Structure 1
């Protein structure tokens, strides 16, 4: 700011005036955006309260949650109203008891002439204080009104239809109008369940972890990795964690996009999932760009290598690895195209042969006659096998779908999907279940990426996965998610883990969980990748969660 003033050589008197104006403006803006102080009150009805913050669940009988809010509202106490009853007018009128005169903050949805929602013209004696002040998943933009109420028990009934009670503040609290310019909640559609912020009890409690990245730029082992990490898997053998991440290696002095092309699969070890040592390189991609726009053998089909998944084969007594190899085109989105899944084997037998070296055994899944248009230009974009009874199933994915094969090879849409393949052995052959006609949309209809499957103590299958970014033009949960299955084939609706409620949020975009490792006493370790948009290097983090066994048993009964 000050360097700009010097640059334009302002007159000193004008400069002083400008500086004073800017300082006063900044002070005023900061004061205005300071959280308002909550006032205690008593709810006469049998309605729950909530703390007005990110992920707050504001309506009972719904999945709607706050994803963004003006800072003035943070930390206030709201009231959880029954969604359907307020929409159809069968609700019990809300009654609150105040010890002093107050202002109740009402969120009004900008749904013009929709009888299910409170209309702003029905509000009497209310002042608009925040335009576009809250973003709630699946719902229209929210304007916030302040309505004054005297001391005593009061019926809060500003008009017919659904509204939100976002907080209560003192009559003396200074409330100045501004447009918070928060986005439309309908961009976050469909709505989703945030673990710990819904009507149901959470399966997992976030109990802590590292408040900063555990592998970051400049740490030993990262010297030749320009862009950090994304995807892969962590397993624990005896007392040692083994991580096989995709290293966005790139080259020094070359544009950051090349970090995603010239990749490596590294092998790292740790005794505590916090302090890591790089052991070796398992695979190195060629980094050579395609010369044609289609899936042509003239192109290097191992230009980029991603998503290495180690799996121990007890029958063969050795580690297998499954990984993804791409063709990379410089101009056509997605640049990573026509994915193929390779299988490799450790040349060292036994559980301790996890470090390899590994030898390639061939391709187990690829674009072909049984591919479907939903797999899209990205092709088979990930693979994870797991055992169910005497059979094996494997999650495989596709992205940037074609509406039909007439759109091949360049006209792709958006969507990140998974489906199942089946086999009688880990070696294959692998066949697309139900010929791959439809992806699994019960988990989430638009985005599921890199699922890793394990089993909970009661036999439930659990898939933990990348839930999709809130960024790059996408409005997705921006949290890692999980899905449960009773039979390993039919998968339930996703729940998302808001780990930043217990761990300092050092990232902008949450990416891929690499594991769900049981540590005893119902505690699990998750190692994950995430992105700080201010930096080229994508670090790795760690968090601990605790399983609620009572909830686990109730979920088992709920699943068909």
Structure 2
């Protein structure tokens, strides 16, 4: 045991140590602030492109090559807002490009991004002459391409030919000759982690289908708001529908328990019913379903396990023929130790006990399982099983998007050896009641939307008849190098789906989230305006909030997309 004197000395030393750490932190913070000040955007110089090449604003999501999907996903702050030049990727790779000619009104420094990869002939051919200075190592991350070092090359006033060598390069900006450029290593990641490349609305060569016109600059349902009592972990997918002037939201509530680790929020879930007149101010109405939160006792898909341990992804659909609301939702077995913890998903159908469009609030009664793991399952559905479901009508029959995740390479890998991938496929039926059959014509899973990540698609139709699926485009987090935006895909016939486009709503509203997750709706409001309510994650807290944004449909773009699909 310590004596009182030793205790006192220990206490005094502890106080001194805390003070020293505090002072060190202050100096560190000032140093970091100083570095941030130094790294503010460099001042641009004006120039004219003599060739017929387009320019782009050097910012996140910018496409740096014409006729290409490669885009900036990370960039050093010094480069933000400069003007780059869209070079033709294929002709530069084939060495058939026209020399780039720029006209300057003053002496300048051209910022040239050079891709570097040891064993690739397209790179490492940059002419590092005496006038080329390396100023930013790993200064830009461009999807699908190697790391980028940025050189400053001086050019005199007048018309100049920019010819830095045979290797692939990109022009990221032009700054004044007297601009002081502090060399550093920005340490941004390799763009080849983001594979494949993807199309971001408003940043590619095509017209965007949707313009972001506004929305809330903060979450619309957040921790501490009325109705969130007892919800430890916030929200994830589900659906929002509009009946008359009222919005009805059916999110997955990650209820969890107080005093229990946050992961349990994913296990003890429930489906809530919320209502709103403006999609901003929400009132919780009721609980539709409550999961048991009971972990499995065996590793396989065994009836001994509670197969309703976690409940997710409730999709209300009005059946006009039956004059009542149907609900489709997902129930999981939950493993405590095996990834993914959500396993062997089953889709249940339920019906409102109140007839008519006003019966949306239920109560609902279960009508049984419509899809589950079984003899007609395929290995790509994986351990997660039938992980979501959304039905929609096409002609005189119905299609239903269903999904799977953590695939098996073969059934020999069942039940624990899984890969990575979040896939969707189509089932078909003659009615909303079923029976539903997996389509077996070789088109499943549907990889035309994205090769390995599509989650929770919700389908509707645009005014010209095009089918549109809006879905979770995947996180840029947790080791998943994905677009971190909501996405959409178009189809002319409801069966064959085109490549995803991603909607960068943070370009028009404050980005209060770190990880974008699931859109719950695309609700037409008239005058080509649509409402989207979405779930997202703020990594600073356990509670996952809900947001809202408004977008406007571009009818010219809609028309051209229909022509493309023909």
TM-score bracket, shorter-length normalisation:
over 0.9
Task: Tell me which of 156, 176, 184 is aligned to 1:178.
Answer: 184
The match for 2:4 is none
Choose 89-98 or 337-346, whichever is displaced more.
89-98
List per-residue Cα deviations over 1:33-81 (Å, max 9, x = no partner).
2111111211111111111110011100100100000111111111111
The match for 2:422 is 416
CA–CA distance in 1 between the matches of 2:355 and 2:553? 34
Residues paired across the two proteins, number: 555
How far the C-alpha of 1:276 sits from its partner, in A, is 0.5
Any residues of structure 2 matched to 1:392-541 within 5 Å, and which? 392-434=398-440, 438-541=444-547
In 2 relative to 1, CA 82–352 (structure 1 residues): closer, same or farther, beyond 3 Å? same
How far the C-alpha of 1:31 sits from its partner, in A, is 2.5
The match for 1:354 is 360
List per-residue Cα deviations over 1:432-457 (Å, max 9, x = no partner).
01177730000000100000000000
CA–CA distance in 1 between the matches of 2:337 and 2:79? 44
The match for 1:295 is 301
- Asked if 1:9 is matched to 2:16, the reply is yes
In 2 relative to 1, CA 230–21 (structure 1 residues): closer, same or farther, beyond 3 Å? closer
CA–CA distance in 2 between the matches of 1:542 and 1:25? 38
How far the C-alpha of 1:164 sits from its partner, in A, is 0.7
TM-score of the two chains, using structure 1 as the length reference:
0.96
The match for 2:261 is 255
Task: Tell me which of 129, 141, 144 is aligned to 2:135.
Answer: 129
The match for 2:198 is 192
CA–CA distance in 2 between the matches of 1:324 and 1:70? 42
Whether contact under 8 Å (2:390, 2:400) holds in the other structure is yes
- Asked if 1:33 is matched to 2:1, the reply is no
CA–CA distance in 1 between the matches of 2:377 and 2:441? 8
TM-score of the two chains, using structure 2 as the length reference:
0.95
List per-residue Cα deviations over 1:92-147 (Å, max 9, x = no partner).
11111111111110000013363334624555520101111100000000000000
In 2 relative to 1, CA 522–8 (structure 1 residues): closer, same or farther, beyond 3 Å? same
In 2 relative to 1, CA 23–55 (structure 1 residues): closer, same or farther, beyond 3 Å? closer
Whether contact under 8 Å (1:104, 1:167) holds in the other structure is yes
How far the C-alpha of 1:510 sits from its partner, in A, is 0.4
The match for 1:216 is 222
Choose 119-128 or 285-294, whichever is displaced more.
119-128
Whether contact under 8 Å (2:400, 2:428) holds in the other structure is yes
List per-residue Cα deviations over 1:203-237 (Å, max 9, x = no partner).
11111110000000000000111100000000001
List per-residue Cα deviations over 1:419-473 (Å, max 9, x = no partner).
0000000000000011777300000001000000000000000000000000000
SS at match of 1:453: strand
List per-residue Cα deviations over 1:217-261 (Å, max 9, x = no partner).
000000111100000000001110000000001111111111111
Whether contact under 8 Å (1:299, 1:327) holds in the other structure is yes
SS at match of 1:556: helix
CA–CA distance in 1 between the matches of 2:13 and 2:502? 49
The match for 1:327 is 333
CA–CA distance in 1 between the matches of 2:226 and 2:307? 31
Task: Tell me which of 218, 223, 234 is aligned to 1:228.
Answer: 234
CA–CA distance in 1 between the matches of 2:166 and 2:442? 48
How far the C-alpha of 1:10 sits from its partner, in A, is 5.9
How far the C-alpha of 1:9 sits from its partner, in A, is 3.0
CA–CA distance in 2 between the matches of 1:17 and 1:354? 60
Whether contact under 8 Å (2:470, 2:519) holds in the other structure is yes
SS at match of 2:483: coil
List 4+ stretches of structure 1 deviating above 2 A: 5-12, 14-28, 111-124, 435-438
In 2 relative to 1, CA 258–157 (structure 1 residues): closer, same or farther, beyond 3 Å? same
The match for 1:70 is 76
The match for 2:7 is none
CA–CA distance in 2 between the matches of 1:109 and 1:373? 39
Whether contact under 8 Å (1:372, 1:437) holds in the other structure is no
The match for 2:91 is 85
Task: Tell me which of 379, 382, 386 is aligned to 1:376.
Answer: 382
The match for 1:284 is 290
In 2 relative to 1, CA 196–27 (structure 1 residues): closer, same or farther, beyond 3 Å? closer
How far the C-alpha of 1:357 sits from its partner, in A, is 0.3
CA RMSD across the alignment: 1.8
The match for 2:274 is 268
SS at match of 2:359: helix
Whether contact under 8 Å (1:76, 1:167) holds in the other structure is yes
In 2 relative to 1, CA 23–214 (structure 1 residues): closer, same or farther, beyond 3 Å? closer
CA–CA distance in 1 between the matches of 2:232 and 2:27? 43
SS at match of 1:434: coil
In 2 relative to 1, CA 213–22 (structure 1 residues): closer, same or farther, beyond 3 Å? closer
The match for 1:245 is 251
